[in-house]
Amino acid sequence: MKTESKAKKFFGSKTFTLLLLLAAMVIVFTILSGGLKSIKGSFIDPKNLKQVIAGMSVVSVLTIGAGCLLISGQVDLSAGGIGTLSALLFAHFYSNWGIPLIISLIISLIIAGAIGYFNAILINRLNCQGFITTMATALVCTGLTYVLSASGDGILKNIRIENEAFNYIGTKSVLGGYVPVIVLIALAFFVVYGIIVSQTKFGRSIYLVGGNPTASHLAGINPKRISNILFVNSAVLGGVAGIFYTAKMKQGSYAGIAGNQFAGMTAAILGGISFGGGSGGMVGAFIGLLILNAFQNGVTIIGVPSYWQQVASGLLLIVALSVDFLAMQRKAAGLRRTVRRGQAEKAAAAEGGDK
Amino acid sequence: MKKVLAILLAACMVVALFACGGKTDPTPSADPTPTAATTPGGEEKPTPGPTTDGVPLGKILEGDHAGREKYKIVYMCNTLAWAWNAAIADTLGKLGEPLNYEFTAWAANNDFDAYLNNIPAFANQGYQGFVLGIDDTLAQASMEACLEAGVSFVAESTTIMDKDGLCIWSSVQQAQVKNGGIAVQWLYDHWKDYWTDATLDGQKVGLIGLNYSAVSGINERKPGVEQKFAELFPDGKFFDGDLAALGTTGFSAEGGNQLSTQIYSQNPDIEKWFVVAYVDDWAIGATRAAEQQNITDKTLVVSIQADAFLAEMSNNYTGNVYVAACAVSSTEFAIDMANYLVATISGVATPETIWPEWNDAGGSYPRIQVEGTMITRDTYKDYLAKQAAMLP
């Protein structure tokens, strides 16, 4: 009986819906890429699936950072810019100043965290609008990235990283050459954050803050403190994404990961994390990321022209947002019904008491 | 409800995919009418032809291409929205027939991680030849990805160099410094054709160089422009209009418009403006800015690269602001790169043996430098005819 209700719960869950969508996507792309005739060169060719997985590394940490903030009802548009800047600083520290790799890494992530805290102060203490504040921070970081990259002749330069272990992490694969090392690390991040968000008191606080900040305050949670932590977290994860990118490219670069910022948010939203806050989770975000990567890879290998790929990606996000909106409306309608029923029952009980 | 939505979502996706499935020609082509190209001095540009290794430059590689398997070639760039990239993609597509290859163009749209991941993805789809439209950021990593995938590849517009600055792979690019100088020389030689009753007071002449310093291939055009301007207008004032200041959005006609508007209006003492846009799209922005500020009678705009100029001409542009462009032949670029790929895939040449006369001193790989020629409203049709004649 318990098993039956668990199964019922699973089939009615967001995760099941997402898996259904992913399965539909895999089937469509496999057919369109000729997978019914031969696996080789099709979407489900293991070599191609490796690329779907490989594309997850940089965006995955951005998805986690964006996901946590979205659950709390906030948004951070600066994670990509912060990530690019801190990765470039890391390259500077290590390659130009000769600071040991691990120390360079720690310092650059601390700087990323400090910028995230700066965001948090502006938003939570000075009550600046989060969307605009983080957009401005992103601009500042991009500008600083250019300043740091400019050489004497005014040309922007990349900074090479020559460290065997670091480059191994960025470029090599394990498990028969099918799983990039960097993706394994990204998966570890998903597991750790999945546990934090779903199994800890702090994780539950994030949901409460996102779902109903007033109620969370009444429950003894300090929403601003949670928000501060999440902005710092988002920035540090941006820094990690930048380091991942640096490891892949073997160089610190001014171009960086700003272009991946929206992919991270898209994956989180596709994965069922509500833009309104209070719902979704890391499992969904992970599947959302898989959907996004599978979609991008699929449209490329079936030969959809680039312009149309953008149209299709945009459509996918619109559909995901619409589903999210419909679900929120349904939830609100359900709540209204419950409240009305409760009030009616209360009124009936009061009437009975009077008699 | 959720299941219904999931099915609906999947259906939407399928519909979107099918709607997108029809392959479109990635490029709006410029006016196909004919042409003749001249250098500032009026001399004919030397025609590229056979090279010592038998793989020609600027002329389609001969051979029995139809008698072999059809190759698969992909052009990977950041965006296909730039006129130059679009023109390269268009010509590479057209060359697919005579050189017997299937062609696809793909754009990263600033997702550089996806750029790297898609190299093995395309290789896995059977693509044997890659044209890498990259900048320095991606150069090294893209090269390694191609080497690992075991495919033939050539860099477009960027030199792939090692840490000591030695060219470590083949590329086709424009003669950056020289083309900058050609554009300024043309302005010096021809300003009188447009400002017939004017005399130039050196101190009141300004030249705006619209640049994007973040891309070294573009930034290399700056010294050519700046030095030639200093030489020809020693008292003139040079304005470095660096669009990188506007972030990634600066790399557009809109960026060119914003920055030139700013510079025009902040310098009312300048009586005559020259603008050299190091990328053609930006010249459109500078031209519209001059029109908006009502300074069309005192501004001459030229560009390096001519695809946007050709598009203006084919749209019947009648103004006298955007008057000329240093046409760097995207056709020549595309032919050289297609020849390179077909020759190296088929084994006619190797990256180490092809075009040795273009190798850097001490280097093993060629760096083709395509020179530009100035075109105007009067000569662009001849130029186009010449370009068209290069294709079958």
Confidence at residue B8, expressed as pLDDT on a 0 to 100 scale: 53
Higher pLDDT, B139 or A228: A228
Instruction: Give, for B101, the enclosing helix (H) or strand (E).
Output: strand B101-107
The torsion region of residue B77 among left (phi > 0), alpha (psi -120 to 50) and beta comes to beta
pLDDT surpassing 60 at residue A302: yes
Confidence grade of residue A241 (pLDDT, cut at 50, 70, 90): very high
Query: A269 — contact with chain B (CB < 8 Å)?
Result: no
Averaged pLDDT for residues A335-352: 82
Nearest CA in chain A to B212: A155
Please report, for chain A, the start and end positions of each structural domain, with discontinuous segments joined by +.
44-303, 308-355
Task: Supply A355's token pair.
Answer: 């008699």
Confidence grade of residue B193 (pLDDT, cut at 50, 70, 90): very high
Q: How far is the C-alpha of B86 from the C-alpha of B210, rounded, in Å? A: 21
- CATH architecture assigned to A44-303: Orthogonal Bundle (1.10)
pTM of the model: 0.75
pLDDT surpassing 80 at residue B295: yes
What are the backbone dihedrals phi and psi of residue B120, each rounded to the nearest 5 degrees, phi first? -65, -30
Q: Is B75 helix (H, G, I), strand (E, B) or coil?
A: strand
Q: Is A179 helix (H, G, I), strand (E, B) or coil?
A: strand
Confidence grade of residue A175 (pLDDT, cut at 50, 70, 90): confident
Q: What is the mean pLDDT of chain B?
A: 84
pLDDT surpassing 90 at residue A138: yes
Higher pLDDT, B304 or B161: B304
* Interface ipTM > 0.85: no
Taking only residues 2 to 31 of chain B, the set having a beta carbon closer than 8 angstroms to any beta carbon of chain A reads 2-3, 5-7, 9-10, 12-14, 16-17, 19-21, 23-24, 26
Taking only residues 74 to 133 of chain A, the set having a beta carbon closer than 8 angstroms to any beta carbon of chain B reads none
Best of A146, A307, A325 to substitute, by most chain B Cβ atoms within 10 angstroms, is A307
> pLDDT digit string (tens) for B97-154?
999 999 999 998 878 888 998 999 999 999 999 999 987 778 888 999 999 999 999 9
Instruction: Give, for B304, the enclosing helix (H) or strand (E).
Output: strand B299-304
- B207 Cβ contact partners less than 8 Å away, ≥ 6 residues apart: B184, B187, B225, B229, B233, B236, B237, B238, B239, B273, B274, B275, B276
> pLDDT digit string (tens) for B11-65?
555 554 444 333 333 333 333 222 233 333 333 333 445 465 678 998 899 988 9
- Residues listed for chain A: 355
CA dihedral sign, ordered A127, A130, A131, A134: positive
Confidence at residue B42, expressed as pLDDT on a 0 to 100 scale: 34
* CB distance B91 to B334 below 8 Å: yes
Task: Supply A45's token pair.
Answer: 């060719």
> pLDDT digit string (tens) for A178-214?
888 999 999 999 999 999 999 999 999 999 998 888 8
Query: B214 — contact with chain A (CB < 8 Å)?
Result: yes
Radius of gyration of chain B (CA): 22
* CB distance B387 to B35 below 8 Å: yes
Query: B124 — contact with chain A (CB < 8 Å)?
Result: yes
The full DSSP string for B17-60 is HHHHHS---S--------B--B-TTSPBPPPP---TTS--SSSP
Pairs across A and B, CB distance < 8 A: 174
Residue A280: its chain B contacts at CB < 8 A? none
Q: How far is the C-alpha of B100 from the C-alpha of B303, rounded, in Å? A: 34
Which regions of chain B carry the CATH code 3.40.50.2300?
Answer: 46-174+330-371, 176-305
> pLDDT digit string (tens) for A12-38?
777 888 888 899 989 999 999 888 888
Q: Which residue type is seen at A233?
A: N
Query: B292 — contact with chain A (CB < 8 Å)?
Result: no
> pLDDT digit string (tens) for A261-270?
888 888 898 8
Q: What is the DSSP letter of A94?
A: I
CATH number of B46-174+330-371: 3.40.50.2300
Averaged pLDDT for residues A283-287: 92
Cβ burial of A125 (10 Å; 0-12, 13-18, 19+) is exposed
Taking only residues 144 to 183 of chain B, the set having a beta carbon closer than 8 angstroms to any beta carbon of chain A reads 144, 163
Confidence at residue B234, expressed as pLDDT on a 0 to 100 scale: 93
> pLDDT digit string (tens) for A92-136?
999 989 999 999 999 999 999 999 999 999 999 998 999 999 999
Residue A142: its chain B contacts at CB < 8 A? 247-248
Test A41 with B138 for CB contact under 8 angstroms: no
Confidence at residue B44, expressed as pLDDT on a 0 to 100 scale: 34
Is the CATH number 3.40.605.10 carried by domain B176-305? Answer: no
> pLDDT digit string (tens) for B325-359?
999 888 999 999 999 999 999 999 999 999 998 88
Higher pLDDT, A348 or A354: A348
Higher pLDDT, A281 or A352: A281
Confidence at residue A80, expressed as pLDDT on a 0 to 100 scale: 92
- The percent of residues in chain A predicted with pLDDT above 90, rounded, is 43
Confidence grade of residue B261 (pLDDT, cut at 50, 70, 90): very high
Q: How far is the C-alpha of B331 from the C-alpha of B36, rounded, in Å? A: 14
Long-range (24+ apart) CB contacts under 8 A made by A181-188 are A182/A57, A182/A244, A182/A247, A182/A248, A183/A53, A183/A54, A183/A56, A183/A57, A183/A60, A185/A57, A185/A244, A186/A56, A186/A57, A186/A60, A186/A61, A186/A244, A187/A60
pLDDT surpassing 90 at residue A258: no
> pLDDT digit string (tens) for B238-254?
999 988 777 666 778 88
Best of A306, A317, A318 to substitute, by most chain B Cβ atoms within 10 angstroms, is A306
Averaged pLDDT for residues A321-342: 79
Confidence at residue A178, expressed as pLDDT on a 0 to 100 scale: 83
Counting Cα atoms < 13 Å in the Cβ hemisphere of A227 gives 23
- B82 Cβ contact partners less than 8 Å away, ≥ 6 residues apart: B251, B279, B281
- A231 Cβ contact partners less than 8 Å away, ≥ 6 residues apart: A69, A74, A76, A116, A117, A119, A120, A123
